[in-house]
Amino acid sequence: MLKVTHAKSEPMLAAMREASDIAVGVLEMIGSYVRPGVTTATLDRLCHDHIVDHGGVPACVGYLGYRHATCISVNEVVCHGVPDDRTLTDGDVLNIDVVVQRKGMHGDTSAMYVAGTASNEAARLMRVTQESLYLGILEVRAGKTLGDVGAAIQAHARTHGYSVVRDFCGHGIGAAMHEPPQVVHFGQRGTGVHLMPGMTFTIEPMLNAGGCDVEALDDGWTVVTRDRSLSAQWEHTVLVTTEGCEVLTLRPSEGMDWKALKTSR
Ligand code: MF3
Ligand code: CO
Ligand code: CO
């Protein structure tokens, strides 16, 4: 049986809640700025300033040489899109991913946005990807395994004809942005790391409209679908509790209706 403890202390969790609250504020704030004509560099600057103004540290800046507060991944970009002077156009769908450090601890979350109006196809991919995140979260409680989380995500993607990216995964998080264990978004029930109270990790499924293969661009960061099909991603930082799980990066606007997903599907 695989066991990983990494249980966070209460003071560590308190700092993670503060970091996560700032990251939530970023994702809430940025929505009204996403529209045709804005550049991803402008969006990144707004996010950066929000973090600093609220007492956080933009943890991605300087991480492995990365130079921005966010990753902004547009359309066929799977993850790690680098903010630049590209102007968004009507129908672009994009993931904004932000990591905040506060009092030495991290919160990591991302959401999808639309510039103008999304195609039906893009809207469906975004919705199914978000549902897959929620179905993964609903597996999180002491006694379950990371295999249960991955299996729930993979099953939902497959039902809707989408592939799950296998080359990037969620991760433990705490004093470091990326800690063990790896949280893959596929797998078999009852396998892998056993969940225990006090563990904190991200779940961040990437689903593609086409195949699961990805490739990195020459900038060394941007990851795109190999077939250039659309990709979507949503991410939360979660804490395993004795009752189940606390979503540290839950946004007020998300509501709790998704808890019904489990019984409706
Ligand atoms: N936020 C990403 C994640 O979900 C990590 C970005 S690392 C960076 O793990 F250097 F690109 F910012
Ligand atoms: Co992230
Ligand atoms: Co992450």
Ligand 1 centroid–CA 127 distance in Å is: 22
Q: Which ligand is nearest to the CA of 203?
A: 3
- Tokens representing 234 are 């949503």
Q: Give the pTM.
A: 0.97
How confident is the model over 28-47, as pLDDT tens digits? 999 999 999 999 999 999 99
Name all residues whose Cβ lies below 6 A of ligand 1: 60, 63-64, 66, 71, 80, 97, 99, 108, 204, 235
Residues 115 and 92 sit within 8 Å (Cβ to Cβ): yes
pLDDT value for 256: 63
Residues 23 and 207 sit within 8 Å (Cβ to Cβ): no
Ligand 2 centroid–CA 110 distance in Å is: 6
Q: Measuring from atom 8 of ligand 1, which residue has the nearest CA?
A: 60
- H or E segment and range at residue 200: strand 200-203
**Structural domains of the chain, count:** 1
Per the structure, the complete domain to which residue 161 belongs is given by 2-264
DSSP class of 176 = S
Q: Measuring from atom 11 of ligand 1, which residue has the nearest CA?
A: 80
**Alpha carbon 96 to its chain's center:** 9
Phi-psi region of 196 (alpha: psi -120 to 50; beta: other; left: phi over 0): beta
Residues 103 and 81 sit within 8 Å (Cβ to Cβ): no
Please report, in angstroms and rounded to a whole number, the separation of the first and last CA atoms in the chain. 30
Give the CATH number for residue 61. Answer: 3.90.230.10
Is a pLDDT exceeding 70 seen at residue 103? Answer: yes
How confident is the model over 222-256, as pLDDT tens digits? 999 999 999 999 999 999 998 899 999 999 989 76
Position in ligand 1 atom list of the atom nearest CA 70: 12
Is a pLDDT exceeding 90 seen at residue 192? Answer: yes
